[in-house]
Amino acid sequence: MPPSRRFAFVREPLVHFLVLGAAIYGLYALFGGPAEDAPDHRTIHVTAGEIAWLEGSWEKRWNRGPTPVERAGLIQEYVRESVLYREALAMGLDKDDTIVRRRLAQKLEFLSQDLLAPPAPDEEELRPWFTARAERYRAPALVTFTHVFVDPDRREDRTLADAEAIRAELQALPSPSEGSDALGDPFMLQRYYPERSQPEISKLFGTEFAREVVGLSPGQWHGPVLSGYGVHLVYVHHREDARDPEFAAVRERVAQDWDDERRQELNDEFYAQLRARYTVVVDDEPSSEDVAALEADSR
Partner 1 sequence: MKRFRTLLGLALAVLLLPSLALAQSVGEPGRVAGKPNPLKNVYFGEQHLHSENSPDAFAAGTRQKREDAFRYGRGDEITLSTNGQKIKRKTPYDFVALTDHAEYFGVMPKLVDPSDPLNKTALGKELSNPTVPATSPKSAVNQILGSILTSTAMPQFVKPEMLKSNWREAIKVINQYNDPGTFTTLIAFEWTSIPGGKNMHRNVFFRDDEGPAVPFSAFDSIYPQDLWTYQEIQRNMGHDNLSIPHNGNVSDGWMYSPNEFLGGPMDARYARRRMLNEPVTEIVQTKGSSDTHPVLSPNDEFADFELFPDLINIGKPSQIKYGYIRQALTDGLMLERTLGTNPFKYGIVSGADSHSGYSNNEEFDFHGSHGALEDSPKKRLDPEPNASGDMPSRLSSAGATAVWAEENTRTAIFDAMRRKETYGTSGTLIRLRFFGGWGYAKGLVGDSAFVKKAYAGGVPMGGDLPARPGGVKAPTFAIWALKDPESGNLDRIQIIKGYLGGRFDDQQEKIYDVALSDGRKADPKTGKVPPVGNTVDVEKATYTNDIGDSQLAVVWTDPDFDPTQAAVYYVRVLEIPTPRWTTYDSVKSGLPIPERIPSTIQERAWSSPIWYTPPKKK
Cα 163 from Cα 161, distance rounded (Å):
5
Closer residue to partner 1 (CB): 130 or 146: 146
User: Do 14 and 273 touch, CB atoms closer than 8 A?
Assistant: yes
Min. distance of Cβ 147 from partner 1 in angstroms?
A: 12
Which residues sit at the interface with partner 1, rule CB under 8 A?
98-99, 102-103, 142, 144, 151-153, 156-157, 159-160, 163-164, 167-168, 171, 174-177, 181, 186-196, 199, 202-203, 205-209, 216-217, 219-231, 235, 237-238, 298-299
Min. distance of Cβ 193 from partner 1 in angstroms?
A: 8
Torsion on CA atoms 143, 148, 154, 155, rounded to nearest 10: -110
Closer residue to partner 1 (CB): 42 or 60: 60
Min. distance of Cβ 161 from partner 1 in angstroms?
A: 9
Min. distance of Cβ 227 from partner 1 in angstroms?
A: 6
Closer residue to partner 1 (CB): 188 or 282: 188
Q: Could you give the 3-state DSSP secondary structure of residue 38?
A: coil
Cα 234 from Cα 224, distance rounded (Å):
8
In terms of Cβ atoms closer than 10 Å to its own Cβ (0-12, 13-18, 19+), residue 21 is middle
Closer residue to partner 1 (CB): 8 or 188: 188
Q: Provide the sign of the torsion angle of the four alpha carbons 171, 176, 180, 184, taken in this order.
A: positive
Closer residue to partner 1 (CB): 24 or 189: 189
